[in-house]
Structure 1
Amino acid sequence: MMASPSSQPSGKVLRRLEETAFHNITLRSLPVDSETKNFVRQVHGAVFSLVDPTPVERPRLVSASRSVLEDLLGISFEETKRPDFAEFFCGNKVLQGARPAAHCYCGHQFGNFAGQLGDGATMYLGEVRNPSGERWEIQYKGAGKTPFSRSADGRKVLRSSLREFLCSEHMNALGVPTTRAGTLVTSDSKVVRDIFYSGDPIMERCTVITRIAKTFIRFGSFEIFKPEDPVTGRGGPSVGRIDILTALTNFVLRMFYPHLLASGGSSESRERDVPVWEPGGKSEQMQRQKEKGEHMGEEVYARLLGEVAERTGKLVALWQCVGWCHGVLNTDNMSIVGDTIDYGPYGFMETTSKQYVCNGSDDSGRYSYGKQAEMCRWNVKKLGEALMPLLSSVDAVTSALSRFDESFEKTYNETMALKLGFSVPPSGTKGGACVSEGVKELVKEWVEAMERTGADFTATFRAACLFETAAERAKSPSGSSVASLSADELADRILETCASPVQMAENNKPPFDLPKLAMLQRLAVVHPEVIAQFGLDASKLGEMEQQVQEWMELKGRDPDGKRSEDEKIWRDVIKKYEQTIVSEGAPEFAQRSTEIKRRNPKMVLRNHILQEAIEKAEAGDFGAVGALLEVCTNPFEDSIEEKYCTPKSPDADPLIVT
């Protein structure tokens, strides 16, 4: 007997697990591999391969996001109390109507085309429509092998899964577009992992998270059609299949960018308009596409590329404004709808540095904090190249890159201005023109001061909420507000967060091996084509050498001398801040303070905070995960305990994430 939906006091109509209705339009609209056996292989002429999850022993729920389950999926949070709940969210049982499948995609990894990659540890389950009519795709991550697992086991462990689960929800709370995470389920099944690639493997618990997004289609999805790469010698598994490229691109347009089409329409009508992919020979499929008039015209595809570029520019600007580093910005880790996707060795920057590298495997610093915009722009260019069979002219790519630049600059300038308490009038102008030159100059100097002094990124911006100008303090009946800081007091507060020379040297230590750099420099003289295979050239090697020189200088700095220099830097910048508040007519202190708190989190998921939760969870204390989830999904609250906000102790061993 079908249970009736549960009705909540808020008026939301929520469902039991058995009432979750899957639509699975993605599998109906795109080609699925005819081979149904699950073994590692090159998947030709298909976008998905059907798979089955591999069961785990004694699964149990570590944590779940009420927001995801109820607001996105329409599933009552009370369902998490069911004895069999974890079984459905680890793959031991599959929700009725779900159809697990692995997505085929390629990617440029660290600048080089890697050929077929695909969902080696994730599985599409299908799409559900919640009671509000929104459509969401659900995935397992860590549920076992797929045709794309290569030499891996298709598993994820508690350590990495907990990091992705928490950061997905944290980034959403920070206002950054992101995929979401609904559940975190661990088990007694174990796999071998060599965490630091040091030859010291350990056994870790198999863990599965449920990921949710509008779609998990990514830039690399469009690279399965790429011909053999002249550098790596690798090509996509579906070279020449323009029919599939057309169907995939049209699907993305209809489902996620309907405003670019004349038809538009509701979500339901758009789904009805998406052609069903019918199995058949290549020529039959291409003929069928022609009969349906599937090529929508170069202008439509150019608009799509431009909007993807714009969303991507906005996304990376928001990363920069919260001090977040992705770590693996390959084309296969870039969402086609502009979401943060695939949380791996990410990190929230503590000591401010453009050279901050969160990925212990990024030997060249390619994906450092300061290079994220450049790398995302490069990825947009690669997406444009993948779409060239539908565009025919490079003008569309050039235009898209300009839109990326404009979107990044506008979002960065506006967000940084708001973080410092300035008003930003609504504007559709390009390049952040609604932010005055005076405010932009202040932002530039403020960030440069943070870099030069090694100030803590999050704490420094948050401290600005306490700053009251001399004129404002003079007007206060008591002479000054109790909960405010003068210019000198703000400088002292920020100076407390600044790194010592030893800390700065540690945080700015080049991520690459110095003997390796010397070898590459010699090789660049004789065989420049060889270093190109590592995504390097003479210019990049010069940048790397400059990093080494700066690092050596940092190591030799005198602590007292640095403190004196830092003090002068911050007193000068705060004086400029005070002058700009007056000259720009910024809101009065009370309003400005409130707005700064709304824009600057009190806490972010620092690696050492995450590590504490991981260690407790691995010991069976799941309560610590729930407590951290509560805090990191409300990161702006004044009431957050200081233990969640404190930077890593300078005496603590460095945490390496790979």
Structure 2
Amino acid sequence: MNLNQIKQPFTEQFPGDFSGDTMQRQTPKMLFSTVEPSGFENPELIIFNQKLSDEIGLGQFNEKSDLNFLVGTDLPQNIKTYATAYAGHQFGNWAGQLGDGRAIYAGEIKNDMGKKSEIQWKGAGATPYSRHADGRAVLRSSVREYLMSEAMFHLKVPTTRALSLALSGENVVRDIMYSGNPQYEKGAVVIRTAESFLRFGHFELLAAQKETDTLKKLLDFTVKNYFPEIISEGEQKYQEFFTAVCTKTADLMVEWYRVGFVHGVMNTDNMSVLGLSIDFGPYSMLDEYDLNFTPNTTDLPGRRYAFGKQGQIAQWNLWQLANSLFQVIKDEKFLEKTLNEFGTYFWKKHDEMLCRKFGFEKLISGDDDFFSQWQSLMQELSLDYTLFFNQLESHFNQKTTFEQLQKISYGLIDDEKLEKFTSFLSEYEKRLSQNSISSEESKKLMQENNPKFTLRNYLLYQCIEELEHGKRDLLEKLITALENPYEEKFPEFSVKRPDGFEGVAGCSMLSCSS
């Protein structure tokens, strides 16, 4: 890899602390601190994303010369590594200064097309923002980070990505369910990339510190580097920036709903101003459809971040961002109007997305009722979200009748449930008849918007268990499947979660433990 191309863009723009001291502390008036990764003596590569390396401009990987870099050891001389400070609201409460507790930036690289990508290690050691933690990561969380970020990319959902996954050679102590039963686990390091890792929390920190001049500088830096479509100046520039963040955030939520993704920890410090999926912790893809499902044990009993609340929480988080930007924008009516319009835009995009999943060419009068009927059916019959649309699409193959869908595909033996399902399919046929596009065009819409494969937690659990014992067969199959999510490469993955995984930690619900 050509590591000499990595630059440090963030440190050139904002005040920083160059002490290199990793003792956990408050760093007022600082947006970053220089810090060196801990370094690991016996790393072991699990997987390297060569396609991504070529895409971002790092080039061909050589395990002998490059492996140590993947875990933050033996760095090139031109790299000055750092971690950033940010603040945030966690589970609805102001948490004050936070920051990159496990993430350390290597810097930024530019490919031949001029596209920039930031690179950072996750799990390479403590930073001043680790809050008395060790800055390490364990294998299970690192596998989940790597695989899910790549799965989201191939599902065409805006996301950070993963370049590599390696064992650190160390054991790390973690209490997986916060049950008072800590155990040693294998340590690991992920390198992840994104155009930028700027979060709502970076802006919240400066606003809380009343650092208005630096807040303006950060806004100017962000617009210049990541929002080239904004060419206005003065307050209008900042207004257009906020509008763009609202739009990108709403679009991201719609994509999460399209594929059935539940983030689980939608704190403001986990929200990207570029509208990217970021920080893959106790997330889950939906198995059975449930608007009240949360994969995060820490989110109980309130279920603040449940599947059905993600759009609402995104808007709440944007309110907190607006409060921070008010120091610069100073137009309360504009901010309120923009935030109030978020819901209108979101629901329009959401319902248009559902139309495509059902093979409808456009929204028409009465679709609200149809979608409500569908949601009630899904929840009442505990139907699998991904499999439902896959089976519905099979009707267009003219090999599967609606009667077969009822009795075979969904296993509806109960007469009352079967009657409800039959009634819904009748409504679906009526709605399809109102399309002006052909059946083939409807089928194509469904194929493009309904993945055949989603990375379910029970599959991740199995993969992690195998990797703990040095086996990589399932990992390789999952990589192939997630790189081709709109094809059915492995029919054995197109099933409901097996009963044996019910209630197993890591298969349906997880904690925030890393």
User: Does TM-score exceed 0.5, indicating one fold?
Assistant: yes
**Offset at 1:25?**
1.8
Q: Is the 8 A contact 1:63 1:622 kept in 2?
A: no
For residue 41 of structure 1, what is the aligned residue in structure 2?
25
Q: Is the 8 A contact 1:586 1:592 kept in 2?
A: yes
For residue 492 of structure 1, what is the aligned residue in structure 2?
407
Identify which of 82, 96, 99 aligns with 2:63: 82
**Offset at 1:359?**
0.4
**Offset at 1:110?**
0.4
Structure 2 CA distance for aligned equivalents of residues 69 and 493 of structure 1: 45
Structure 2 CA distance for aligned equivalents of residues 342 and 611 of structure 1: 18
Structure 2 CA distance for aligned equivalents of residues 406 and 95 of structure 1: 50
Confirm whether residue 17 of structure 1 aligns to residue 32 of structure 2.
no
Q: Is the 8 A contact 1:495 1:566 kept in 2?
A: no
**After the TM superposition, which residues 398-413 of structure 1 pair with which residues of structure 2 at under 5 Å, given as runs?**
398-413=336-351
**Offset at 1:449?**
1.4
Identify which of 353, 367, 370 aligns with 2:308: 370
Confirm whether residue 344 of structure 1 aligns to residue 328 of structure 2.
no
**Offset at 1:56?**
1.6
For residue 432 of structure 2, what is the aligned residue in structure 1?
581
Structure 2 CA distance for aligned equivalents of residues 494 and 453 of structure 1: 13
Confirm whether residue 607 of structure 1 aligns to residue 460 of structure 2.
no
Identify which of 105, 127, 130 aligns with 1:124: 105
Residues 365-374 or 643-652, more deviating:
643-652
Structure 1 CA distance for aligned equivalents of residues 408 and 32 of structure 2: 54
For residue 313 of structure 1, what is the aligned residue in structure 2?
250
Residues 101-110 or 619-628, more deviating:
619-628
Q: Is the 8 A contact 1:465 1:594 kept in 2?
A: no
Cα gap change, 1:73 to 1:360, in 2 (>3 Å): farther
**After the TM superposition, which residues 374-393 of structure 1 pair with which residues of structure 2 at under 5 Å, given as runs?**
374-393=312-331
For residue 555 of structure 1, what is the aligned residue in structure 2?
none
Identify which of 390, 414, 417 aligns with 1:462: 390
Structure 2 CA distance for aligned equivalents of residues 616 and 108 of structure 1: 37
SS across alignment from 2:313: helix
Deviations 1:18-40 (A, max 9, x none): 4x512322221122124332221
**Offset at 1:318?**
1.1
SS across alignment from 1:220: helix
SS across alignment from 1:25: coil
For residue 447 of structure 1, what is the aligned residue in structure 2?
375
Identify which of 293, 298, 306 aligns with 2:235: 298
Amino acid at match of 2:490: E
Q: Is the 8 A contact 1:307 1:400 kept in 2?
A: no
Confirm whether residue 53 of structure 1 aligns to residue 37 of structure 2.
yes
For residue 177 of structure 1, what is the aligned residue in structure 2?
158
SS across alignment from 2:159: coil
SS across alignment from 2:190: strand
SS across alignment from 2:370: helix
Residues 393-402 or 596-605, more deviating:
393-402
Deviations 1:408-445 (A, max 9, x none): 12321222111111224xxxxxxxxxx22244443332
Q: Is the 8 A contact 1:606 1:647 kept in 2?
A: no
For residue 62 of structure 1, what is the aligned residue in structure 2?
46
C-alpha RMSD over aligned residues: 1.8
Confirm whether residue 258 of structure 1 aligns to residue 224 of structure 2.
no
Q: Is the 8 A contact 2:126 2:134 kept in 1?
A: yes
Identify which of 569, 593, 614 aligns with 2:443: 593
For residue 396 of structure 1, what is the aligned residue in structure 2?
334
Q: Is the 8 A contact 1:74 1:131 kept in 2?
A: no
Structure 2 CA distance for aligned equivalents of residues 457 and 333 of structure 1: 26
Q: Is the 8 A contact 2:458 2:501 kept in 1?
A: no
**Offset at 1:493?**
4.3
For residue 467 of structure 2, what is the aligned residue in structure 1?
617
SS across alignment from 2:221: helix
Confirm whether residue 420 of structure 1 aligns to residue 358 of structure 2.
yes
**Offset at 1:126?**
0.8
**Offset at 1:170?**
0.4
Structure 2 CA distance for aligned equivalents of residues 49 and 307 of structure 1: 29
Q: Is the 8 A contact 2:37 2:73 kept in 1?
A: yes
SS across alignment from 2:117: strand
For residue 11 of structure 2, what is the aligned residue in structure 1?
27
Structure 2 CA distance for aligned equivalents of residues 159 and 151 of structure 1: 21
For residue 205 of structure 1, what is the aligned residue in structure 2?
186
Structure 2 CA distance for aligned equivalents of residues 492 and 39 of structure 1: 62
Amino acid at match of 2:428: Y
Identify which of 130, 138, 143 aligns with 2:124: 143
Amino acid at match of 2:251: K
Cα gap change, 1:64 to 1:440, in 2 (>3 Å): farther
For residue 642 of structure 1, what is the aligned residue in structure 2?
491
**Offset at 1:46?**
1.3
Structure 2 CA distance for aligned equivalents of residues 345 and 130 of structure 1: 33
Structure 2 CA distance for aligned equivalents of residues 491 and 410 of structure 1: 31
**Offset at 1:209?**
0.5
Amino acid at match of 2:130: S
**After the TM superposition, which residues 135-284 of structure 1 pair with which residues of structure 2 at under 5 Å, given as runs?**
135-227=116-208, 239-262=209-232
Amino acid at match of 2:213: D
Segments of 5+ residues of structure 2 without an aligned counterpart are none
Amino acid at match of 2:475: V
Structure 2 CA distance for aligned equivalents of residues 58 and 313 of structure 1: 43
Deviations 1:121-154 (A, max 9, x none): 0011111001121111111100000000111100
- Percent identity, aligned pairs only, is 32
Cα gap change, 1:384 to 1:463, in 2 (>3 Å): same
Deviations 1:381-409 (A, max 9, x none): 00000111101121222122134223312
**Offset at 1:95?**
4.0
SS across alignment from 1:29: coil
**Offset at 1:193?**
0.7
**Offset at 1:585?**
2.3
Q: Is the 8 A contact 2:117 2:193 kept in 1?
A: yes
**Offset at 1:301?**
1.1
Structure 2 CA distance for aligned equivalents of residues 218 and 300 of structure 1: 19
Q: Is the 8 A contact 2:121 2:190 kept in 1?
A: yes
For residue 436 of structure 1, what is the aligned residue in structure 2?
364
Identify which of 260, 268, 272 aligns with 1:323: 260
Structure 1 CA distance for aligned equivalents of residues 338 and 183 of structure 2: 46
Deviations 1:197-241 (A, max 9, x none): 1121111122111111111010011111344xxxxxxxxxxx121
Structure 2 CA distance for aligned equivalents of residues 35 and 48 of structure 1: 11
Cα gap change, 1:565 to 1:586, in 2 (>3 Å): farther
Deviations 1:567-617 (A, max 9, x none): 1221111111111111222422x3433332221111111111000000011
Structure 2 CA distance for aligned equivalents of residues 309 and 178 of structure 1: 16
Cα gap change, 1:64 to 1:160, in 2 (>3 Å): same
Segments of 5+ residues of structure 1 without an aligned counterpart are 1-15, 228-238, 263-295, 425-434, 469-480, 499-559
Runs of 4+ in 1 over 3 A off after TM superposition: 438-441
Confirm whether residue 631 of structure 1 aligns to residue 481 of structure 2.
yes
Q: Is the 8 A contact 2:207 2:325 kept in 1?
A: no
Normalized against structure 1, the TM-score is what?
0.74
**Offset at 1:307?**
1.0
